[in-house]
Each structure stands twice: as C-alpha cells, then as structure tokens.
Amino acid sequence: MARYGFKIGAAFFLCRMLWALTAMGAEPIPIFVSILPQSTFVEKIGGNLVDVSVMVLPGANPATYEPKPGQMAALSKAKIFYAVGVPFEKVWLRKMASVNPDMRIVHTDKGIEKIPMDTDIFEDRNLEKSARDKADHHDHGVKDPHIWLSPPLVMVQARNILVALLDVDPANRSVYEENYRNFIMELLALDAEIIKIFAKKGKDMAFMVFHPAWGYFAEAYGLRQIPVEIEGKEPKPAQMGRLIEHARGKGVKVIFVQPQFSTKSAGIIAKAIGAQVVFADPLDPEWIRNLREQAGKFKEALK
C-alpha cells in the first residue's frame, strides 16, 4: 500500500507541477478599467494573471474623457471591462461594448448606495436639518461616483472584481481567492489606520476642496467637505464673495485641489483668507499610499 501511496503522491505532485508550468506560460488576461485606482484593485487580485490597461489617462478628467483610437482598438481583445460609474462611461460604455461584444462589462459599483455630490456649500448641510431632510439627501442630486476613495466601499468593489475573474478564469480560482483575501486584509488595516488618525477629531470637522471628490471618504470618517465649485462650475463673483466669507468663518487654512481641474478660484479664495492651496489627487495610482497621506493632510488642515 505504501508503494501505491507513493505513486499516487508522485503523480499528484507531477500534475501540480505541470499545472504551474502551464499557468506560468499562459498569456495574462487582457483587462480594461476606467481609472487608475481601479488598476491597483484588479492587479492586487489578479496578480501576474492579468494585464490591465487604463482608459482615462493620467491628467485627464473622467467626466469628459474620450477614448483614443488606439485604446478602442486594444479594447477589441479585452476579456473584461471594469466600470466604476464615472461620467464618461454613460456615453462610451455602449460604444465600447459594440467594439467587443464578447467582452464582459462589470460594474464594480454594484451593491453600493451612492450619495449626491456636495454642491451647495451655503446650506452647509444645515446642521439643524431634520432627520427626514437628511434622509431626503440620499434621494436627490447628481450621484457621487468617487466610491474608490472609501476603503470600506473598495471592499465591495474588490468582491465584484473577484467574481468576474472567477467566471472568466475558474482554473485559477485559488490564486484569485488568496490574493483577494490578502487585499481585504490590507484594506481593513488601512481603514483602521485612518480611523485612528481621526479618532480625536472635534465636532463638525470640515475641509475645503475645489471639486467635491472626497464625499465618501468624509462620510466614512466623520468629516465634511466644503466644495468651491458649485454644481460643477466655477463660482460667480457674488458666490466667490460668499465662499470667502464662509471659509473665513470656518477657519479654513488649506484648500485642496486636484490636478485635473483649474486652481484659479481656489487660489483667489486662499489668498483672501490666508490659506494654502494643496493638491489632493483622487486618481493617484498609488492608491493605498495616497489615501494614507491624504488622511494625514486632511487631519493637519483640520487643526
């Protein structure tokens, strides 16, 4: 029996070795994502088994982006397109699907309840609002797409990413599941670290941003963002005056801007109130480092 057991064990080991060599020689799965942070999430789970391309190139605006001809050509070979809900997808997803009907389009925001973007700083979320009004806040307005800036919501996206990879490449289930578990542990550690950063914050802790991209981050950690732009537009002179008064009253010391938008209005307000203009890029591909550093910058600005 021992001899047969040895043969079975050797055969199993040989099969595992052959599988490993086959996997090493296999071409990685071509995948497209909408924005740079998504590439981090997919690569964390897919590892060397995926080849990820990003649609919105560095410095471009996901609200107005138009894919390049070369990207559309490359899209014809993709197995999966991971969407996240940014505005350009509304125009282009159908067109991209027509280029490659066999490509699986996966909405990584599936299962996430989106909140309206902060657009009216003058209501200042009216801290005296009734519970009913606060509930209504979730039912109206343009929905905020920036779900990738909240570690708890990225955990939901990670699950959606994993499910699609398992469907497309079930042979490598164990690899994807292990990578997924490791990524979730990273997210839990990051979430705990950021919670600790803001553990001793005061009440009504608000930071000022040009574009209101950090709403989910603020909601996750008990903060508030005050947007400079109003409904996606530069403030008018009268609104600018009220913004300056509002920021001065709140003791704003830093105004956060992102590279994809003009800093002119933020600079005017900062000069009027003696504040700094600091970059906060929601599309930084070094996602974990970026959120950790950004949390520190927000905390410093709240002092």
Q: Which residue spans within 131-237 are E strands per DSSP?
A: 206-209, 224-227
Residue 303 vs residue 296, higher pLDDT: 296
The answer on 170 and 73 residing in a single domain is: yes
Let me know if 152 is exposed, middle or buried by CB neighbors in 10 A (0-12, 13-18, 19+). middle
Domain presence at residue 126? no
The answer on 229 and 188 residing in a single domain is: no
Task: Compute φ and ψ for 122, nearest 5 degrees.
Answer: -75, -25
DSSP code, position 214: -
Q: Which two tokens stand for residue 284?
A: 């930084």
The last residue of a domain, from among 159, 193, 227 = 193
Residue bearing tokens 């000069």: 271
The answer on 188 and 91 residing in a single domain is: yes
- Which of the four pLDDT bands, split at 50, 70 and 90, describes residue 19? very low
The answer on 94 and 158 residing in a single domain is: yes
Domain presence at residue 137? no
The last residue of a domain, from among 193, 217, 252 = 193
The answer on 290 and 243 residing in a single domain is: yes
Please give the average per-residue pLDDT across 155-164, as a whole number: 98
For residue 214, is pLDDT > 90?
Answer: yes
- Which of the four pLDDT bands, split at 50, 70 and 90, describes residue 117? confident
Please give the average per-residue pLDDT across 276-300, as a whole number: 93
Q: Write the CATH number for 241.
A: 3.40.50.1980
The answer on 71 and 101 residing in a single domain is: yes
SS3 262: coil
What pLDDT is recorded for position 264? 84
Domain presence at residue 10? no
Q: Tell me the residue range of the domain where 102 lies.
A: 26-109+145-193
The answer on 69 and 189 residing in a single domain is: yes
Question: What is the per-residue pLDDT across 58-80, written as a single tens digit (0 to 9) for each?
Answer: 888 898 899 999 999 999 999 99
The last residue of a domain, from among 154, 172, 193 = 193
The answer on 236 and 96 residing in a single domain is: no
The answer on 225 and 93 residing in a single domain is: no
- Which of the four pLDDT bands, split at 50, 70 and 90, describes residue 188? very high
Q: How many domains does the chain have?
A: 2
- Which of the four pLDDT bands, split at 50, 70 and 90, describes residue 260? confident
What pLDDT is recorded for position 250? 81
For every residue of 89-127, DSSP letters joined together read HHHHHHHHHHH-TTSEEEETTTT----BPP--TTTTT-T
What pLDDT is recorded for position 135? 43
The answer on 85 and 174 residing in a single domain is: yes
Distance (Å) of CA 253 to CA 69, 209, 299, 301: 44, 11, 12, 6
The answer on 262 and 149 residing in a single domain is: no
Residue 195 vs residue 236, higher pLDDT: 195
The answer on 151 and 73 residing in a single domain is: yes
